[in-house]
Amino acid sequence: MDESDLPAANQRINGWYELFSRGARDWLRHNEKVRDAVREHLPEIIAGADVVGGGARTVRVPVRMLEHYHFRLRKPSEREGVGQGAAKPGDVLAKPNQPGPGKGAGGKDDGGLEFTLEFKVEDIVDWLWEEMKLPNLKPRVGKAEEVDWTREGWDKRGARSRLDRRRSLRESIKRRAVQGKSPAFTDDDLRFRQLAKREQPAVQAVVFLLLDVSGSMSERDRQLSKTFFFWAVQGLRRQYRQLDTVFVAHTTEAWEFSEQEFFDVSGSGGTVASAGLAKVREIIDARFSPSRYNIYLFYASDGDNYTADRPQAEAALAGIAEVANYCGYLEVSTGADREMNSETATLFKAAAGGANTIGSFPLGRTEDVWDAVRHFFKQQAGVT
Amino acid sequence: MSGAWRDFLPDIEKLALSAGLDYNPVEFEAVPESFMMEISVYGLPVRMPHWSFGVRYIYQLIQHRMGHSRLFEVVFPGNPGHAYLARSNSMAENVLVTAHVLGHADFSRNNMLFKRSQQQVSDNIVEHAAQHARQIARAIEEHGQKRVELVLDAALALEQHIDVDQSVRRERYPEYAVDPVGIPDDTFRTRFNSLEAEEAAKNPAARTRAPVPPRPERDLLWFIANYAPELEGWERDIFLAVREESFYFYPVFATQIMNEGWASYWHARLLREANFLPQQIYVDAIKCHSDVVRPLASGENVALNVSPYFLGFSIWEEIVKRDGLEAARRILKEDDDFSFIRNHLTVEMAEKLELFRYRAEANGAVKVTERDVHALHEALLAPKYNFGAPGVAATHIRVDGTLDLLHDHQMDGRGLDVERGKKVLEYLHRVWRRPVIMHTVDEQGATIELAA
């Protein structure tokens, strides 16, 4: 049917429903509610989510559609109904656990549809920080100033690229309201955005993710470390506009990797922590001057360091601790060994000596990832 | 080309009037399929926003994509009535649909349930519901989406819990108990009453207040709107808006078989008599008709439910053939699906239509149980009792404001679904603002209380 068939009365409103879908509006509202619900269980969901695929910006979480509840009778063990077709009493139309013939058989009210919602990692991190009342990090270095341009105010003159159309139109409307019939735009109507110089403290940071890839670290241990690293980095990103990440893996030797390669690395042989720590110090000296950078180190290992390495490791750790904002040691152990009396744990405990800048935490299950993140960030901020 | 169906409209209407149809004018509008889908989800072209409609919308969208549902028309009663036709309808389909719509329009003008709801709610439900939607949009602006949503969560959950035997505009209960009727031969009372009354007794404040509710109250929407201890004015208005729409929906629900059957009977009949239609359109339209009123099971298949179009159409055809149109029109005026099915789905009819009753067990086994016509009646009508909802009534408000609800498990045959019941009580608790307690039974038939 043509539009022209429609009576005049309908012609006026014809088409509004093509611009605006109420179903879609209410569906979006539903999704918002789901988000709120998900938000309440975020730590559990995040522990399970597979987030670490080369700098994921979003997390996909499977969710269920919400049900608007009504009073209903309890589901009966048998359901009666009326059917239609050639069948006589006693006929069996479906055997147990077979779908019945025709449409309408079986209940559709069970379960409900599952779908996936995507969450922005940044949003999640913000929620978590709010939810867990995590403190913001304390940048240590802030002397070096950076000059930055920010938008500030409007002017009648400026570069064409900074023309603010909305404001200009507003001026034009105001003028025409007063002047009546007059040209649509005059030069006087034009408004240009102005930029102003602002000096900001330099907030640069680098985080070293040091991973023990010796033979004793299982695939699962590495996966746990990976999840922890991901969220730790997100937490830092929240604070620092510019965050460099450096990935170092070690066995008895140490290497720097790109992010992609890093999580696929698996080595064999023993663990010499001092090799990894020395490598970190080497990179700091070469590329990240402590006077310009806030330095963070997270080290994940199963704790089986060579006993003979103790003196070197102590020295290397002390070398980093004196320039770093924080050094965290994550002991990844399959057994829920919370004692933390492995070689490496002892090393970090000794180095900490009550200071806030070195800490350790045991990580045994995915559910603990959040406790670990919380522990480190709280300690770093001096809150316990 | 497809626009030309409107050219047939005057002829179809003339034919309908001469055949005795009696309807208010209908405004036809062709709308995109997406809009048809929304109408079927919301039940009305413009209706209040609520997230639960979004869920239904997605289900409908999925079903539609899988090709399970195709909507040709939706019609709303009133003066004038409104009919929305899918823009994707072919010319022949539109001819058929027009005749079908006139059948609905005749039905809704003459059926008593429909007449009553139009008198009491509005004879322009489309505009009326749009007003409710605007009212709620204003409430959202004023009180925020969260608060409005809490009220709608509760009100829409009780959508079916109205008392259609009462008026839409219903007065509050009388505040004072009526004096007990004198017991005959009560000489003591007679003598007592003849004594000179003291000042205090003359004081009307000494009259006893009537209990609230005086008897179990099924109209939960009305009851909460009027007696919730701390309901604000705008919240009350939302409850009453939802209730009005429920009064509109009730006849649609309670006469579905009759109404669809009647419309199908008339589109078939008008089509047969429409000698002004070109041959090809006639043939296409008849084919479309047979798709509509086709039993779900055709050939050897067996279906586990019955199409209301097929059932209603078959019964009406039989009635008109046997008793004539006059008798049919009287039935149309006075019946709803309950009386229609019980009185007119006869043994012969049920046999001819091959209806049977079956039992489906939890493990998936489905067995045909009987063909007894009374059992068929009851099984067909069972999902329609009480607006399709469990029988729940408000029985008591305690001194501390706690609301007692009672589920009539004897009428329903079993207890309430506990998890869902609790969730609904949580909705109610947020508007009643005092504890709400539901009395029902568990699997063993023992009394249980759900609380929020």
- pLDDT, one tens digit per residue, over B191-230 is 777 777 666 555 555 567 888 899 999 999 999 999 999 9
- pLDDT, one tens digit per residue, over A245-289 is 999 998 888 889 887 788 777 777 788 888 899 999 999 999 988
| pLDDT at position B27 | 94
Q: B47, A22: Cβ pair inside 8 Å?
A: yes
User: Would you say residue A93 has pLDDT above 70?
Assistant: yes
Q: What average pLDDT does the segment A91-113 reach?
A: 55
Q: Is the pTM of this model over 0.80?
A: no
The proportion of chain B whose per-residue pLDDT surpasses 90, expressed as a percent, equals: 73
B400, with CB counted inside 10 A (0-12, 13-18, 19+), is: exposed
| pLDDT at position B163 | 96
The Cα-based distances of A352 to A293, A330, A359, A379 in angstroms read: 22, 14, 7, 12
* Weakest-pLDDT range from A27-41, A334-348, B109-123: A334-348
Give chain B's length.
Answer: 452
Closest CA–CA distance from residue B247 to any residue of chain A (Å)? 18
* Weakest-pLDDT range from A330-339, A355-364, B68-77: A330-339
* Cα distance between residue A273 and residue A360, in whole Å: 15
- pLDDT, one tens digit per residue, over B47-69 is 999 999 999 998 888 877 776 66
* Cα distance between residue B33 and residue B31, in whole Å: 7
Strand B355-361 relative to strand B366-370, pairing:
antiparallel
Size of interface A-B (CB pairs under 8 A): 269
User: Would you say residue B181 has pLDDT above 60?
Assistant: no
With a CB-CB cutoff of 8 Å, which residues 395-424 of chain B face chain A? 407, 412-418, 420-421, 423-424
Alpha-carbon dihedral sign for residues A223, A225, A226, A231 = positive
| pLDDT at position A71 | 96
Judged by a CB distance cut-off of 8 A, whether residue B301 touches chain A is yes
Q: Which residues in chain B have Cβ-Cβ distances shorter than 8 Å to A87?
A: 302, 354, 356, 358, 368
- pLDDT, one tens digit per residue, over B438-448 is 999 999 989 99
> Which two tokens mark B185?
């031969």
| pLDDT at position A2 | 38
| pLDDT at position B299 | 59
| pLDDT at position A338 | 61
Mean pLDDT of chain A: 77
Q: Provide the pLDDT confidence category of residue A104 given band limits of 50, 70 and 90.
A: very low
Q: B34, A83: Cβ pair inside 8 Å?
A: no
Higher-confidence residue: A130 or B308? B308
Q: Which residues in chain B have Cβ-Cβ distances shorter than 8 Å to A74?
A: 414-418, 443
* Cα distance between residue A191 and residue A166, in whole Å: 9
Judged by a CB distance cut-off of 8 A, whether residue B304 touches chain A is yes
Q: Which residues in chain B have Cβ-Cβ distances shorter than 8 Å to A107?
A: none
Q: A69, B157: Cβ pair inside 8 Å?
A: yes
* Cα distance between residue B412 and residue B390, in whole Å: 7
- pLDDT, one tens digit per residue, over B139-174 is 999 999 999 999 999 999 999 999 999 999 999 998
Higher-confidence residue: A145 or B330? B330
Nearest residue to B211 (alpha-carbon basis) of B167, B178, B163: B178
Mean pLDDT of chain B: 90
| pLDDT at position A50 | 56
Query: At what angle are helices A121-131 and A219-239 packed, to 10 degrees?
Result: 80
How many Å separate Cα B44 from the centre of its chain?
13
Sheet holding B436-441, edge to edge: B392-397, B403-407, B436-441, B447-451
User: Would you say residue A6 has pLDDT above 50?
Assistant: no
| pLDDT at position A351 | 80
